[in-house]
C-alpha cells in the first residue's frame, strides 16, 4: 500500500497546489473547508471503475462538486475513459489466423484465463485446449497477445491481473507458427 500524501489530497479552495495565491487574492478569513460529509462523497465521485489508472490524478486536490457536471454525465465520462484505455485491458482486438476480419473482446468481462479462452473458443468456433506451463497449448492453435513492449507473448504465463494491465491485443496463431524462444 502506498503511503498517502495527506497534503496532496487535502481538500481546499483555489487552484491545486497554490494556496498562497488564493489567500492573497481573497481578504476573507479562512473558510471552513473541513467538510467530512463531502469528502466521503468526493471519494465516491472519483471511484474506481477505472482502477489504478486514476491514482496519479487523485493526488491533486479535487474540489467537491466542481466543475459542476451532473453525476450522470460524470459516470458516463469515467465509463468512456476506461473503455478507451486499452492498456488497462478493456476492449481489445482479436485476430485469428485465417479469419477475414478482426473481432473485439471486453477483457473486463472475464475473471480468468479459463473464461477468456472459453469466450475465444466460442467466438471463433475453434478448439484451443488447455494451458500447460511446459508445453503451451496442446492443439493446433496457440493464443497469444501483444504486450506493452510490443512483444508477442503466449497467453497464460503471467498472472491474470498482470495480463490485464499489459495486454494490447490478442492473436490466435497456429501452433506451428509459435517460435519457442
Footprint of other proteins (CB under 8 A):
13-16, 22, 25-29, 31-38, 41-42, 45-46, 57, 60, 62-74, 76-77, 80-81, 91, 103-104
Query: Are the C-beta atoms of 176 and 153 separated by less than 8 Å?
Result: no
Give min distance, CB of 110 to other proteins, in A.
17
Measured from the CB atom, is 125 or 134 closer to other proteins?
Answer: 125
Measured from the CB atom, is 22 or 152 closer to other proteins?
Answer: 22
Which grid cell sits at 146?
501483444
- What is the Cβ-side half-sphere exposure of residue 95, based on CA atoms within 13 angstroms? 12
Give min distance, CB of 32 to other proteins, in A.
5
Give min distance, CB of 54 to other proteins, in A.
9
Measured from the CB atom, is 6 or 72 closer to other proteins?
Answer: 72
Give min distance, CB of 137 to other proteins, in A.
26
Measured from the CB atom, is 53 or 175 closer to other proteins?
Answer: 53
Measured from the CB atom, is 52 or 71 closer to other proteins?
Answer: 71
Give residue 40's region: left, alpha or beta (phi > 0; psi -120 to 50): alpha
Query: Are the C-beta atoms of 144 and 153 separated by less than 8 Å?
Result: yes
Residues 6+ apart with CB under 8 A from 91: 83, 104, 105, 106, 107
Give min distance, CB of 105 to other proteins, in A.
9
Query: Residue 97 burial by CB count (10 A; 0-12/13-18/19+): exposed, middle or buried?
Result: middle
Amino acid at each position: 500500500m502506498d503511503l498517502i500524501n495527506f497534503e496532496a489530497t487535502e481538500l481546499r479552495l483555489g487552484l491545486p497546489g497554490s494556496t498562497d495565491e488564493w489567500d492573497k487574492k481573497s481578504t476573507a478569513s479562512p473558510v471552513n473547508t473541513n467538510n467530512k460529509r463531502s469528502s466521503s462523497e468526493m471519494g465516491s465521485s472519483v471511484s474506481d471503475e477505472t482502477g489504478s489508472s486514476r491514482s496519479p490524478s487523485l493526488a491533486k486536490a479535487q474540489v467537491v462538486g466542481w466543475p459542476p457536471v451532473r453525476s450522470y454525465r460524470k459516470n458516463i465520462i469515467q465509463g468512456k475513459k476506461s473503455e478507451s484505455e486499452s492498456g488497462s485491458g478493456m476492449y481489445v482486438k482479436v485476430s485469428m489466423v485465417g479469419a477475414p476480419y478482426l473481432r473485439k473482446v471486453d477483457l473486463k468481462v472475464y475473471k480468468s484465463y479459463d473464461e477468456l479462452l472459453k469466450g475465444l473458443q466460442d467466438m471463433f468456433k475453434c478448439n484451443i485446449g488447455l494451458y500447460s506451463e511446459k508445453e503451451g497449448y496442446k492443439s493446433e492453435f496457440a493464443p497469444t497477445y501483444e504486450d506493452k513492449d510490443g512483444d508477442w507473448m503466449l497467453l497464460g504465463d503471467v498472472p491474470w491481473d498482470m495480463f490485464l494491465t499489459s495486454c494490447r491485443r490478442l492473436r490466435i496463431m497456429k501452433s506451428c507458427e509459435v517460435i519457442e524462444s
